[in-house]
Amino acid sequence: MQRIMFFFSLLVAKMAYIFLRVTKLSSGTAFIGLIVLKLCPDFLKFANNYSKVKINVTGTNGKTTTTALIAHVLKDKNIIYNSTGANMLTGVVNSVSLQINPSKVAEYSVIEADEAHLSKIYDNYNADYLLVTNLFEDQLDRYGSLEGTRAVIQKAIDKRPDLQLVLNADDPFLTGLKSNKEAVYFGVENVSYAQGACINDKEPEYSCVCGKKLNYSKRFYSKIGHYSCECGFKRPEVKYNANIVVYSNHSEIEILGEKYDVPVMGLFNAYNAVGAIAMLLENGIDSKQIRESLVSFKVFSGRCEYRMLNGHKTLIQLIPKHVGET
């Protein structure tokens, strides 16, 4: 009976999508997901059968761009991808239900997931890979602390202990995440700026789990860099170590002797690209294919995007609100 409801929910999802497109009542990024889960609460359990390799991306910042980079390289393959950036449970179900072909199994699913909803997704979704970009203070109104955010992600991992974690080695708050498999780390060895360095000397201090101040031999921004502590805690061994040259409108990234020219702006986006490249290489995607695909990547709307507004070239940035702002 549940399987029948799964196929029925797929049909309803596609009909609802057509209706929303015709009537223009909604963009449909979550509404269809609500309907599908009402009809089939275990929808994602059945959806597992319709993609061979399941990749998730989570973290405070960079989820949408990193997911988009991965999906862009895999675009010529049959993939399932929540391209709208709707990353909560209903949004994920919304995207998956509209893209599943009952007669064909996708090669990959590439799904961005909100940190708080990752655990709900993993109640039924049997992911193979989880890439975590970083943990920052942007959303402390939701989690209370960086340790709280990490605990939320670890709770999700514990539901899928055979996950292969792909983690940012340069974020000291990610090294505590564990699964049954040894984590794969990506990071940055050196950064240079083609038009002069942008350095903030007033970065906040961060403490190790032992309570002592973290020391940095290299610090790229905020708490991201090469860190260590007197207690022995330090940046882990990195499999995908990058050298980055940041230009005004793109970045040159070298990993394992291969160079990638990625049309993304800023060091933080270059980190997103390093994570995406690491995930693709870990999945056996050829470096030549990655390199040739990334040069045509276009940023997600509103994320470091140039547009002409009233005759002026304008940079649009998505910047999260601070707690307490209205």
The pLDDT of residue 209: 84
Pick from 1, 85, 93: which is nearest to 48 by CA? 93
Report the C-alpha gap between 53 and 67 in whole angstroms.
Answer: 14
Pick from 87, 156, 158, 150: which is nearest to 119 by CA? 156
The pLDDT of residue 29: 74
**Crossing angle of the two packed helices 267-282 and 63-73, in degrees rounded to 10:** 40
Q: What is the secondary structure of 50-66 as a DSSP string? A: GEEEEEEEESSSSHHHH
Q: Are strands 215-221 and 224-228 parallel, antiparallel or unpaired?
A: antiparallel
**pTM beyond cutoff 0.95:** no
The pLDDT of residue 312: 59
The pLDDT of residue 30: 87
Average pLDDT of each block of 10 consecutive residues along the chain (326 residues)?
93 93 77 95 97 97 96 95 91 96 96 96 97 86 79 97 98 96 98 70 78 94 95 97 94 97 94 98 98 91 58 57 34
The pLDDT of residue 205: 83
Question: For residues 110 and 67, is the Cβ–Cβ distance under 8 A?
Answer: yes
CA torsion through residues 138, 140, 141, 142, sign: positive
Q: Is 31 exposed, middle or buried (0-12, 13-18, 19+ CB in 10 A)?
A: middle
Angle at 325 between CA 321 and CA 326, to 5 degrees: 105
Pick from 155, 124, 126, 123: which is nearest to 55 by CA? 126
The pLDDT of residue 240: 98
The pLDDT of residue 318: 57
The pLDDT of residue 123: 97
> Between the CA of residue 184 and those of 57, 165, 271, 321, what are the distances in Å?
14, 6, 15, 32
Q: Is 41 exposed, middle or buried (0-12, 13-18, 19+ CB in 10 A)?
A: middle
Cβ atoms within 10 Å of 117's Cβ, excluding its own: 18
Structure tokens, 318: 């998505």
Q: Which residue has the tokens 């974690």?
A: 165
Ramachandran angles phi, psi of 232, nearest 5°: 105, -10
Q: Under 8 Å CB-to-CB from 177, ≥6 apart: which residues?
A: 132, 150, 153, 154, 157, 165, 167, 183
The pLDDT of residue 258: 97
The pLDDT of residue 326: 27
Question: For residues 64 and 301, is the Cβ–Cβ distance under 8 A?
Answer: no
